[in-house]
Structure 1
Amino acid sequence: MNNHLLFDFTVDKAAKTVFITREFDAELDLVWDAFTKAEILDQWGAPAPMRCQTKYMNFEVGGRRFYAMIGPDGQERWSVQEFTSITPKTNFKMYNAFADKDQNRELPGSEWDYNFSEQNGITTVSITIFNESFERMEKLLEGFRIGFTMTLTNLENLLVTLSQK
């Protein structure tokens, strides 16, 4: 395992934008799949002790992923992601919003832009998250920073296991 992998989490409050850059010691194809296939996303996409469960995912432009983060007490926190642009193995964009179990969105949401690149077996994922509401961003920010850092560590550990298969 490479212990010198980049992880940067920067917030531009004035622009209502979060910038995350994370390197993974794994091939691009595997990292791309980890972000775009529900069966892999569900293995890493929630901070412990929560777990992630995708109800459905249609990874295509105009398609959606509807999923929940489920706490140990069974409480569900649902989200809808709508894919707005996909360039295979390079980039995808989506609109993300919390929702209820019937997919009624809690607006405002946020726009996510994922960029993938690989050099010498290290894959870099750069994520830009634009929040429509400064208040929403402020309310979620600290918990999001901690939770998203945990989920990316989950992914790093999973990629080690998947790379060995």
Structure 2
Amino acid sequence: MSKAILFDFKVDKENNKITVDRTFNAPIDLVWAAWTEADILDEWWAPKPWKARTKSMDFKEGGSWLYAMVGPNDETHWARVDYIQIKPEAFFTANDSFCDADGQLNTTMPQNKWHNTFTDQGESSLVNVQITFESLEDLEKIIAMGFKEGFTAGLENLDQYIAAQFYLRKDKKPNNNARVSTYLNFAGNTEEAMLFYKSVFKTEFVRGIQRFSEAPSDPNQPPIDEKLKNMVLHAELPLFGGHVLMATDAPKEMGFTVELGNNMHINLEPESRAEADRIFNALSEGGKISMPMADMFWGAYFGSFTDKFGINWMVNYQKV
């Protein structure tokens, strides 16, 4: 059961500071990744219907994140985050500024310093955000621009992302026997594709086709858009030889961008953690790791990467 979400937003005008305390129903490693990895930030940072679009990111002390907030009519506002100090899964500090597309600072706009602290609470995580401004005028200007409303909406996007990942990837194997499956992402036509494959292989779906509307509701999270409810959350279709084809819709409304190259993964399910580590380390050598092996909030020991030949893999061990 999801825990109640804490959200405490305070404005301290005497010290030119905004303080936010926010909990997330996920362990610390996933929440840290969501705040420090560009591909995940792009999926939740901007309030809908705006989107965040990263141009470059180098998350290290002295590095920076250059990104744009892009509106529904392609209006674009650029920002730059310069990282000062980082302690993995504990805290990071950074300067936040408006800029142009090349990262040149706009000194006519407010600048501020962020100190984000991450606290492990077991099944949930607490993020404390302290934003300090150079003057009260700068603080009041940011508030007037709708910072509280926009930041609140972005954090709700992150809640939805976390919930979607749980239901999209949660393993429902009846035992720990090793198996290999193929995982497909579609931009909205999963049902059409999977019904076609079903007609070819003449097999039946495991537990039918599950839809986003079937995901248990959480009063602490924004409701799923009506137009997304009938989309496919998860479908499993046995082919032959023990191989299973899995698929999901990855809609743009939830921040996903399905394109050639990221729409298919080979999903490996070893019999043990040790074997999961061995396979992950061997296959990812020389490739690009998108998520290191780690215990995930849906109960799996999971990692993903693209190998040196450009093939996408997921390694997923879950003790039944």
TM bucket by the smaller chain?
over 0.9
**Alpha-carbon deviation of 1:5?**
1.2
Q: Distance in 1 between matches of 2:155 and 2:48?
A: 12
Does 1:50 find its partner at 2:53? no
**In structure 2, what is the Cα distance between the partners aligned to 1:14 and 1:153?**
29
Greater than 6 Å deviation, 4+ residue runs: none
Corresponding residue for 1:151?
A: 154
Matched, 1:65 2:74: no
Aligned to 1:106: 106
Which structure has more RCO (C-alpha within 8 Å, separation ≥ 6)? 1
CA distance 1:30–1:163, shift in 2 (3 Å): farther
- Cα root mean square deviation, aligned: 1.2
Q: Distance in 1 between matches of 2:3 and 2:149?
A: 19
Q: What letter matches 2:114 in structure 1?
A: W
Matches of 1:11 and 1:123, distance apart in 2: 22
For residues 21 and 117 of structure 1, the distance between their equivalents in structure 2, rounded to whole angstroms, comes to 11
Contiguous gaps of at least 5 residues in structure 2: 170-320
Whether contact under 8 Å (2:119, 2:126) holds in the other structure is: yes
Between Structure 1 and Structure 2, whose CA radius of gyration is higher?
2
- Corresponding residue of 1:93: 93
Shift, 1:161, TM fit? 1.7
Counterpart contact for 1:26–1:163, Cα < 8 Å: no
Q: Work out whether residues 28 and 116 of structure 1, in 8 Å CA contact, stay in contact via their aligned partners in 2.
A: yes
CA distance in 2, matches of 1:2, 1:23: 11
Q: Distance in 1 between matches of 2:127 and 2:56?
A: 24
Mapped to 2, the partners of 1:49 and 1:3 lie a distance apart of 27
Deviation at 1:139, TM superposition (A): 1.2
The structure carrying a bigger strand percent of its residues is: 1
Report how many residues are paired. Answer: 165
**1:9-43 CA distance string (max 9 Å, x none):** 00101100000000000011100000000000000
Q: What's the CA shift for 1:134?
A: 1.6
Q: Could you tell me which residue of structure 1 aligns to residue 125 of structure 2? A: 123
**Contact kept in structure 1, 2:3 and 2:25, CA below 8 Å:** no
* TM-score, normalisation: structure 1: 0.96
Counterpart check, 1:30 vs 2:33: no
Give the residue type in structure 1 aligned to 2:113.
Answer: E
Per-residue Cα deviation, 1:109-132 (whole angstroms, up to 9, x for no partner): 100000001113110000000011
Which residue of structure 1 aligns with residue 220 of structure 2? none
For residue 147 of structure 1, report the CA deviation from its aligned partner. 0.2
